Amino acid sequence: MVNMTMAIPDKLSKIIKKHNEVKWSEVARKAMWEHAKRLELLDSLVSKSELTEKDVKEIGDKIKRGIAKRHGLA
């Protein structure tokens, strides 16, 4: 297993130090695994897609306009 060092904000550090009963490295490892699994799923979905980046941008823009219209922002 590889060791990793990371920087965290002071406020988070204070909370972590206050709760030394928690295995923080395990919490971080689980969070990273969950995020990595989601990325792998996205990679798998994207690899099968025939959409171009331009197509995706156009769809995203239409969705944003629809949301803005629905909420009276457009």
pTM, two decimal places: 0.64
The predicted pLDDT at position 74 comes to 72
The predicted pLDDT at position 16 comes to 97
Measure the CA–CA gap between 32 and 4, rounded to whole angstroms: 12
The predicted pLDDT at position 37 comes to 98
The predicted pLDDT at position 73 comes to 86
- Among residues 29, 6, 25, the alpha carbon closest in space to that of 16 is found at 25
Q: How confident is the model at residue 69 (pLDDT cuts 50, 70, 90)?
A: very high
- DSSP class of 7: -
pLDDT in tens, 18-65: 999 999 999 999 999 999 999 999 999 889 889 998 999 999 999 999
Structure tokens at 28: 């971080």
